[in-house]
Amino acid sequence: MNNNLLDIQNLRTSFHIKGKAYAAVDGVSFTIQENEIVAIVGESGCGKSALALSIMGLHPTKTTTLEGQVAFKGENLLTIPQARFDQIRGKEIGMIFQDPMTALNPLHPVGRQIEESMGQHLALAKEERRNRTLELLKQVGIQNEQRVYKQYPHELSGGMRQRVVIAIALACDPVLLVADEPTTALDVTIQAQISDLLKELQNRTKLSILLITHDLGVVSELADRVIVMYAGEIVEMAEVATLFHYPLHPYTRSLLKSLPGQQSTKTALHVIEGIVPSIQKLDRSGCRFAPRIRWIPEQAHENDPQLHEVAPGHFVRCTCYESFHFPDDHIGDDNNAITGN
């Protein structure tokens, strides 16, 4: 047995739209080891959040089909009974949500919302739950925890609410944290505080984090390994340093080139042509990124693009990376690697 904490194999998440099923996550496989931070990046609509919700079993069952395997400590979360799943969610896997403004119940005080999962999973007396909650609030950087404990979400700022959401996720000492864009809805100074907080928590508690984000700065700061998703598929997967220094897939390179760098204050930012196709309009044959790099000849792409292991632990989909260049590049130039500081 290996020490895969989470082992996802060929996960396919399809949404039913007008009687037809469309895959938003289309055959994704990867693993998360203990004490590892894996980041998933990609534009909006690439299937990142759909993937996170699939792991947590939070898609509405009536309109969603899940196929493949999501093995957590050897148990396939897609097939275990709901009651068993409820013992795992909140206890062993915690989730941080994207929008702290809506993720909390407006009618319950903050303390009670944090305690709820403890009541569900841990045999603790009321007083112990309270103490633990106050401790958690302090841990996530809330100073006046006694007061916040009794406050309602509408009395707190966005950053405070996100800290509360994190405290909820950590309430039962999970071994895996699924963080779905934990900083997206916050302003920049708070973003930095929250990502520092995550890093610090991970150092202290040795938990594994699946970090979903489109903020490459956060990725370079936190992640051990990065998965780049495009149109429901993994297009590249590598150690964080490798990915930032030697990105291969055209999509990864385009994303990195779109980052505002230190020297580029006077020049226009790079823009990836076009948008991520909607899951209904997506052409699922051939290289899915091809329509956005039209200057690359068709024969450069594979007919049925596969993930290739180009170096140990470095995977790239499709062969088009071999001949890829930006339209304004001279072929043979050094690739436009940007180091994530």
Residues that bind other proteins (CB under 8 A): 56-58, 60, 82-83, 85-91, 94-95, 97, 99, 102-109, 113, 116-117, 120-121, 152, 154, 165, 168-169, 171
Among residues 60 and 332, whose Cβ is nearest to other proteins? 60
Nearer to other proteins, 169 or 216 (CB): 169
Separation CA 177–CA 204 (nearest Å) = 14
Q: Which is nearer to other proteins, 155 or 298 (CB)?
A: 155
Long-range Cβ contacts of 13-16 (<8 Å, 24+ apart): 13/47, 13/50, 13/51, 13/54, 13/59, 13/64, 13/65, 13/66, 14/64, 14/65, 14/67, 15/50, 15/59, 15/63, 15/64, 15/279, 16/63, 16/64, 16/65
Residue 83: CB minimum distance to other proteins, A = 7
Shortest reach from residue 97's CB to other proteins, in Å: 6
Written as six digits, the tokens of 331 are 């072929």
Task: Please report how close the Cβ of residue 197 comes to other proteins at its closest, in angstroms.
Answer: 19
Closest to 28 measured CA to CA, from 303, 291, 228, 239: 228
Q: Which is nearer to other proteins, 121 or 257 (CB)?
A: 121
Closest separation in Å from C-beta 18 to other proteins: 15
Minimum CB separation of residue 203 from other proteins in Å reads 24
Which C-beta is closer to other proteins: that of 47 or that of 57?
57
Q: Which is nearer to other proteins, 84 or 284 (CB)?
A: 84
Find the shortest distance in angstroms from Cβ 109 to other proteins.
8
- The sheet carrying 20-33 orders its strands as 20-33, 4-17, 64-72, 75-76
d(CA 265, CA 287): 33
Local structure of residue 265 (DSSP, 8 states): G
